[in-house]
Structure 1
Amino acid sequence: MHAGPIYLFSSGSVEWLVVSDIEMVKEITLYTSVNLGKPSLQSRELGPLLGQGILSSSGPIWVHQRKIIAPSLYLDKVKEMVNLIVHSTNITLKSWESRLNNEGEALDLRIDDDLRSLSADIIARACFGINYVEGNEIFSKLRDLQNLLSAKEAGIPGFRCLPIKRNREIWRLEKEVNSMISKIIDERLKQDAEEQDLLQMILEGAKSCEGNDGILSDSISRDRFIIDNCKNIFFAGHESTAITASWCLMLLAIHQDWQDRVRAEVLQVCGNNPPHASMLRKMKMLTMVIQETMRLYPVAAFVSRSALEDIHLKGILIPKGMNIEISVPILMQDPEIWGHDSHEFNPERFSNGIVGACKFPQAYVPFGLGARICAGQHLAMTELKVILCLILIKFRISLSQSYCHSPDFRLVIEPGHGVILNITRI
């Protein structure tokens, strides 16, 4: 039995309105953070990983967080990070070249682990002013937390509060991550020279709202505000980019014609030079491939909202407290919106941009939608373009016979058994 584009279901005492109706989605995008926030149930369940940071908070505290974090991730700021992204990527690719030297002309390589480490290094350097060695333990523990929190529960109310082995491990990891981030913050506060990176903006933002409008004193402590938002950036900043890059390379390994087309474009634009911001704008083929990858393999399985007050969608009263869940894969692969080939890899559909790719541009939601659209989308796209173009300049890729296609939901949709590619030098 197939559910319709709008239906209700209950999870215990919590009610959800599940939406894939495009007209209702369009109306949802028009509401602001005053009307729609994050479901409190999800915020509680993911508390050890995200706390009350920008990904999970609602209301005035979210508005303040967004004002702090978003300006540091505007396109002009991201352009200044391109050289750093190139440097970090080249370090990873040199390790691949070294392995090729040792193992012969071709190499089977599990790329998703390396790309996760690379993306983590970029976030650590660009946003927090630390190197990957310093941040590696934090990323590793956040990954462990992610896996533990994505495990299925027994369906018992308060299950996460029981002192069973898994919960004790979650509590331990949360405490250790918070402690390590606190040390990074303490080191920054001791420095005389102030970096103008994202960490500094979070520190100044926490200070500016203390004793001002009462946001921190009323809902969250200053230290918790800083730590939670650092955890949000650490987690979201590296996980989503690494996963998308992995899926993208998997698709290019299968579709050799598109791999050749993108490589030719990159070589035409860059020549033998490392890419810079103005070059990235000219990479139309690469952009199309990334957009199509995110359509077929979105990192987020759903966009969730909670009505902070009574609202109306398509004339239907949605009462305060009702949770809304938008199914991202269904919306981005609906044949009525995307055409008969909606489940096929066809980057050409984006040749005239998102507006020309489908009937309703609101159906393309890889970075979320509405007022809470991802603040880091420019950084993510820039990272993806740099990483992919540098890989394609140096290597030809094909799918390894040991690759097992198994998209898996672990808070995000990722390759369940990794992405294993066969790589050779160009």
Structure 2
Amino acid sequence: MAMVPEVWMAIAAVVLTVAASAAMVPLVTMVRTFLWEPLRLRRIMAKQGVKGPPIRFFFGDSPEYGAYAQTFPESLPLAFDDSAPTVTPHHALYFSKFGNRFVYSIGSETRLVVRDPEIAKEVLSNKMGFFERSPLELYVFSHVIGNGVFAVKGKEWAFQRRILNPFFSQESLKAMVESVVKGAMEEIEKWEQMTTQAGGMLDYDVEHDIHIISGKVMSFTAFGDEFEKGKQIYELQSETVGHLFAALSKPMFWIPGYRLLPTKEKKAMAQLDKRIERLAMEMIDARKEAVAKGERSSFGDDMLGLMLADANFDYSAAVNNCKNLFFAGQDTSANLLSFSLVILANRPEWQHRAREEILEVLGDGETYTLNGISRLKVMGMIVNEVTRVFSISPSITRVALKDFQLGDLFIPKGLAIEVAVLSMHRDPEFWGEDAAEFKPERFANGLSEACTNPNAFLPFGLGPRRCLGEKLALLEVKVVLAMILRRFHILPSPHYRHHPHFAMVSCPKYGVPLVLKTLN
């Protein structure tokens, strides 16, 4: 029997109602995520006197502070009193407008930015369980360094950290010095040959070689000489960063659902990640096979060995931590070393003092020990000051998991707190009126006399999730600097363009050309 028109109309009405409801769900979610929730968080903070730029639907405030960053020249004076405009332009723009704390948005994420050491201590150290890493930052970083100990939380984080801690212990560092020397020697000897061929003075961009050195150090210390695979992994990760920043630069990236689409950048990153994981698994399989065949008595005491030796440490976690150390570990050390060389080239008095100390403490030979490196007080002062002036991690962000009181502020659930590390490192309130100057002597008597609050110095973070590789990074920088200063006077190159910028970490935008002059 044919259905009467009224029945058809009823069915059509139901179908249209369901379709409209289905369409309304993402619309309501979008409005709640990008408008209602940011407005709610802004109102709560505004009532407490914390202001910021106006809410901008979808994209947040990045177009404004991105345009601000573009107003600065591509070549800045090295004595430029604040690198933040080209590294963290939103800090430079909004601190000057709104005071020592402000709110802004990046996409749908509303952030309270502070440069208060006590709040930094509470957020990063004392309020564990109240915060987690920013979902936006995890999304960005996970595409490059995976989801290892950097990203996991709770019991899984505690487990991975416990397994990896012995690799970064003081006892382990003693054995790593030789690997650091081995990782640097070939490139530095190449510089010597090139300088000799050039008549004793060479204008050369060392940035690429510095990354090779850092990559070799990572490979020799953590992965048992697997430099070639490590080099390939790093190069693929660097390529991934290019695609990632290309995606982030598109306004469409911030539109809900866009990140789920099979875009050109997403496909490219997925393909690169497959190649990276395959290389990491080849290292893991080779180590396992060597043990199975009796070619090795154990998995080893390097980082890869520690992960494989624990039956509860699954291969996915091992792969992710390989990705983490190859990129994050390498980039941190390489860029800290690069900025150190730039500074020493332009501060000959400190270069001379460092070289004199190296020769006095370590002698004329090529013997390096952890004890000897730890006695390089001038070197320690220089490296501390470089990490202050050029913070490799210029900010740290955590998102509140619950409502709570933080000092004089009520922090609502969902608000992200961004600790402005670089701005805090250059704040005269904590470092004196000479905060913008490069003055290693401020660290002559330790951190307690360098600034008014020790929590104002956070080059490697703070609290339980402080950077796991901090000691290794500092050891590498000091050993390699000692090796270089034994052989060369470092002079400024006319080709160097000073423009620190942010690409996962703070780094020189236009390479590190230096003039290397052979010591007489």
Length-normalised TM-score, structure 2: 0.76
Aligned match of 2:250: 153
Aligned match of 1:208: 312
Distance 1:185 1:266 in 2: 39
Two-structure CA RMSD over aligned residues (Å): 1.7
The one of 199, 221, 233 equivalent to 2:304 is 199
Aligned match of 1:264: 356
The amino acid that maps onto 1:89 is A
CA contact (8 A) 2:125 2:462 kept: no
Task: Indicate the SS of the match to 1:373.
Answer: coil
Q: Deviation digits for residues 2-61 of structure 1, max 9, x if unmatched?
A: 232222223343222211123322322432543332122221232221222122222222
> Offset of 1:315 from its aligned partner?
4.0
CA contact (8 A) 1:245 1:388 kept: yes
Aligned match of 1:117: 212
Aligned match of 1:178: 277
Aligned match of 1:408: 501
CA contact (8 A) 1:75 1:379 kept: no
Distance 1:140 1:3 in 2: 41
Aligned match of 2:458: 365
The amino acid that maps onto 1:131 is E
Distance 2:140 2:504 in 1: 11
Distance 2:159 2:413 in 1: 23
CA contact (8 A) 2:121 2:462 kept: no
Aligned match of 1:212: none
Distance 1:234 1:105 in 2: 34
Distance 2:317 2:219 in 1: 19
Is 1:102 matched up with 2:197? yes
Distance 1:32 1:73 in 2: 25
Distance 1:113 1:46 in 2: 22
Compared with structure 1, are the counterparts of its residues 40 and 57 closer, same or farther at alpha carbon in structure 2 (3 Å cutoff)? farther
What 5-or-longer segments of structure 2 have no aligned partner? 1-95
Q: How does 1:149-298 map to 2 (within 5 A)?
A: 149-151=244-246, 152-154=249-251, 155-192=254-291, 193=296, 194=298, 195-205=300-310, 207-208=311-312, 222-273=314-365, 274-298=367-391
Aligned match of 1:132: 227
Percent sequence identity is 33
Distance 2:405 2:354 in 1: 45
CA contact (8 A) 1:43 1:57 kept: no
CA contact (8 A) 2:497 2:510 kept: yes
Deviates more, 1:25-34 or 1:122-131: 25-34
Distance 1:148 1:258 in 2: 40
Distance 2:128 2:193 in 1: 49
Aligned match of 1:86: 181
Aligned match of 2:482: 389
Aligned match of 1:214: none
The amino acid that maps onto 1:188 is R
Is 1:307 matched up with 2:400? yes
Aligned match of 1:60: 155
Distance 1:3 1:63 in 2: 39
> Offset of 1:203 from its aligned partner?
2.3
Distance 2:260 2:208 in 1: 32
Task: Indicate the SS of the match to 1:81.
Answer: helix
Aligned match of 1:328: 421
Q: Deviation digits for residues 94-123 of structure 1, max 9, x if unmatched?
A: 111121233222111111211111010010
Compared with structure 1, are the counterparts of its residues 65 and 120 closer, same or farther at alpha carbon in structure 2 (3 Å cutoff)? same
CA contact (8 A) 1:247 1:293 kept: yes
Q: Deviation digits for residues 312-333 of structure 1, max 9, x if unmatched?
A: 3114332343322111111100
CA contact (8 A) 1:53 1:228 kept: yes
Task: Indicate the SS of the match to 1:304.
Answer: strand
Aligned match of 2:5: none
The amino acid that maps onto 1:31 is N
> Offset of 1:278 from its aligned partner?
1.2
Is 1:338 matched up with 2:431? yes
- Structure (1 or 2) with the larger CA radius of gyration: 2
Aligned match of 2:68: none
The amino acid that maps onto 1:235 is F
The amino acid that maps onto 1:204 is A
Task: Indicate the SS of the match to 1:370.
Answer: coil
CA contact (8 A) 2:425 2:457 kept: yes
Aligned match of 2:140: 45
Deviates more, 1:302-311 or 1:242-251: 302-311
The amino acid that maps onto 1:248 is S
The alignment of Structure 1 onto Structure 2 pairs a total of residues equal to 413
